[in-house]
A and B are shown apart, each in its own frame.
Chain A
Amino acid sequence: MNATGFRVKSRLVNDVAVLYPQGYLNNLAGEGLVSECGKYTRAGVKKIIVNFRETDLINSIGISLLLHVMEQLQAAGGTLCFTEMDKVQLGIFDMLGLTKYFRFFQNENGALEFLGSGNE
Chain B
Amino acid sequence: MPLQGLPAKDYFNREDELSYLRRLAGLRRDILADNVLLTGSRGIGKTELLKQLHRSLFWDSQDVVPFYYSFKTAALKSATFARDYFTRFIRQYVAFVKKEPLYVNNISMPLPRLMPLISSLGLDWLIDCIDDFQENADHGDLYGQILSAISTPAAAAVRGGRPVLVMLDDFTASEDLHETKRGDAPGLTSLFEVSMNNSLCPHIITGSPSAKLEAIFSDPSLHKATERMRLSPLPEDTAYELFSSLLAKMKISCDREAASGIIRRVKGNPLYIRNLAKAAWKMKKISLGKGDLAECYSFDIIDGETAFYWSSVFGESLRDKGLRRTILGLMMHRMARGEADDQERLSKILGVRETQLATALDVLELNDIGRGFDPVVEDFVQSLYFREVEAKTDAEIRKLIEAKYEMTGDSSVFEMVIPMSEQAELVAARAIDQIGKNINLEPELMEYLQLALVESCINAMEHSGSYEKKIYLKFTTSPQRLEIAIESPGRHFTLDSLKESPTEKKLAAGQKRGWGFTLLRKIMDDVRVERIGDRTRVTLIKNIKRSEVLN
Whether A63 touches B515, Cβ cut-off 8 Å, given contacts A26-B423, A96-B503, A101-B507, is yes
Asked whether any CB of chain A lies closer than 8 Å to the CB of B204, the reply is no
Residues of A within 8 A of B510 (CB): 71
Are B455 and A28 in contact, with the CB atoms below 8 A?
no
Q: How far is the CA of A63 from the CA of B458 in the complex (A)?
A: 14
Chain B residue nearest to A64 (CB atoms) is B512
Count chain B residues whose beta carbon lies closer than 8 angstroms to a beta carbon of A.
29
Task: Tell me, in angstroms, the Cα distance from A57 to B454 when the chains sit together.
Answer: 10
Residue B342 CB within 8 A of the other chain:
no
Instruction: Give the interface segment out of B36-44, B226-234, B382-390, B444-452.
Output: B444-452
B-chain residues with CB within 8 Å of residue A63 when the two chains form the complex? 515
Contact of A92 with B519 at beta-carbon distance under 8 Å, contacts A61-B458, A97-B502 already known: yes
Q: A43 at the A/B interface (Cβ < 8 Å)?
A: no
Residue of B at shortest CB range from A59?
A: B454
Most buried by A among B426, B430, B504: B426
| Of the residues A26, A60, A87, contact of B444 by C-beta under 8 Å | A87
**Given A26-B423, A64-B513; A95-B450 close (CB under 8 Å):** no
Q: A24-B426, A60-B458 are in contact. List 14 more A-B contacts (CB 8 A).
A: A1-B429, A1-B447, A3-B426, A26-B423, A60-B514, A60-B519, A61-B458, A88-B444, A88-B447, A88-B448, A91-B448, A96-B518, A96-B519, A98-B503
Q: List 13 A-B contacts (CB under 8 A).
A: A24-B423, A57-B447, A60-B458, A60-B513, A60-B514, A60-B515, A60-B516, A61-B458, A65-B512, A67-B512, A71-B510, A95-B523, A97-B503
- Contact call B503/A57, Cβ cutoff below 8 A: no
Taking Cβ atoms with an 8 Å cutoff, the residues of A that contact B are: 1, 3, 24, 26, 28, 57, 59-61, 63-65, 67-68, 71, 87-88, 91-92, 95-98, 101
Known: A3-B426, A67-B507, A68-B512. A59 touches B502 (CB 8 A): no
Q: Which residues of A contact B514 (CB under 8 A)?
A: 60
| Min distance, Cβ B422 to any Cβ of chain A, angstroms | 7
Q: How far is the CA of A115 from the CA of B177 in the complex (A)?
A: 95
Is B433 among interface residues, defined by CB-CB distance under 8 A?
yes
Give which listed residue, B450, B502, B504, B519, contacts A57 with CB less than 8 A: B450
Please name all residues of chain B whose beta carbon is closer than 8 Å to the beta carbon of A64 when the two chains form the complex: 512-513, 515
Asked if B429 and A57 make an inter-chain contact with CB atoms under 8 angstroms apart, the answer reads yes
B522 at the binding interface (Cβ < 8 Å): yes
Interface flags for B501-529 (1: CB within 8 Å of A; 0: not) read 01110010010111110110011000000
- Return chain B residues, CB-CB under 8 Å to A92: 451, 519
Question: Using Cβ atoms and an 8 Å threshold, which residues of chain A touch B454?
Answer: 57, 59
Cβ-closest chain B residue relative to A24: B426
Residues of A within 8 A of B515 (CB): 60, 63-64, 96
- Within the assembled complex, what's the spacing in Å between the Cα atoms of A64 and B455? 13
Nearest first, the 5 A-B pairs at minimum CB distance are A97-B503, A60-B515, A64-B512, A95-B522, A88-B447
Known: A24-B423, A95-B518, A97-B502. A59 touches B512 (CB 8 A): no
Contact partners of B422 in chain A: CB under 8 A: 28
User: Bound state CA distance, A63 and B502, in angstroms?
Assistant: 16
Question: B37-57 vs A: 1/0 string, CB under 8 Å?
Answer: 000000000000000000000
* Residues in chain A near residue B502, CB distance under 8 A: 97
Tell me the bound Cα distance from A91 to B507 in angstroms: 19
